[in-house]
Every structure is written in structure tokens, then in C-alpha cells.
Amino acid sequence: MLLGNFFTIINKEITDNSATLLISINAAHPIFEGHFPGQPVVPGVCMIQMIKEMMESIEGKPLQLKKADQLKFLAIINPVENPLVNITFSIDHKEDNIVLNGRIYKDELNFLKFKSSFILI
């Protein structure tokens, strides 16, 4: 689990079909000792895990990634330079899954655009 240690939710705005969150990334987290020393980069797998955990905090239930339809990594997130980033996504509750379509960004800079499906477990 990354929430509370690797990242913290600073602000959360939720509607029935969308979410916008401001998060703080912990640049002192041990993962950055290896990824990469002196030039920290948030691993792509951590970005996906953060999205999953944020959606779990919204749903109040555990989720499992079903499908990553689209993942476009557009820029690296250096947590020293960008400790605060925004995440916004639409939420589409389907019969057997939840589809998210959104992005991780700061101002005009997009770090990740994604579309993914999760199932409640």
C-alpha cells in the first residue's frame, strides 16, 4: 500500500462520475534510493497503484486492476521538482467493473493519460 507512505491525498473533489485529487509525493521514500539515486523518478507501476488506491478510497472497497486499455506515459514525475501533482478521472460504473479515464498532471504538464478497468474484490 502506497497511500499514507509514498503519497498523501491533500484534497479530493468527488462527484457521481468524476474525481479530482491533489496529492503529495514523498520524495524521501526508500523507493527513490534505487529509482534513481540523485534523480528520483516515480515508477510507472507506482502511478497505476496510486490510481487504484485513490479509487479504493472513493469506493470504500478493495479493487483489482482488470484491464489497462490505454497507458500513455508522457513525462517523468520527479518528486523533488513536482511533489504536488493532480489526478483527475471520469468514473463509469459498469455492470461488473469500474472504468476510469483520466490523467496525472501539474499545470500544463501531463505525466500520464490512462484508461483502465477495475473490478470490486
The pLDDT value given to residue 37: 87
In terms of residue numbers, what domain contains 64? 7-120
Q: What is the CATH number of the domain that holds 80?
A: 3.10.129.10
Task: Give the torsion through C-alpha atoms of 46, 114, 78, 32, to 10 deg.
Answer: 10
Q: What is the mean pLDDT of residues 1-28?
A: 97
Question: By the 8 A CB rule, do 2 and 49 touch?
Answer: yes
The pLDDT value given to residue 77: 98
| The three three-digit cell numbers of residue 24, written as one number | 503529495
What's the pTM?
0.94
* DSSP 8-state secondary structure symbol assigned to residue 9: E
Residue 96 confidence (pLDDT) above 90: no
The pLDDT value given to residue 89: 97
The pLDDT value given to residue 100: 98
Residue 1 falls inside a structural domain:
no
Residue 62 falls inside a structural domain:
yes
How many domains does the chain contain in total?
1
Q: What is the mean pLDDT of residues 49-62?
A: 96
Q: What is the mean pLDDT of residues 51-60?
A: 96
Residue 51 falls inside a structural domain:
yes
Summary mean pLDDT of the chain: 96
Q: In which residue are the cell numbers 472497497 written?
A: 61
DSSP string, 31-93: GGGTS-TTS----HHHHHHHHHHHHHHHHTS-EEEEEEEEEEE-S---TTT-SEEEEEEEEEE
Q: What is the mean pLDDT of residues 2-30?
A: 97
Q: What is the spatial distance between Cα 99 and Cα 66, in angstroms, rounded to a whole number?
A: 10
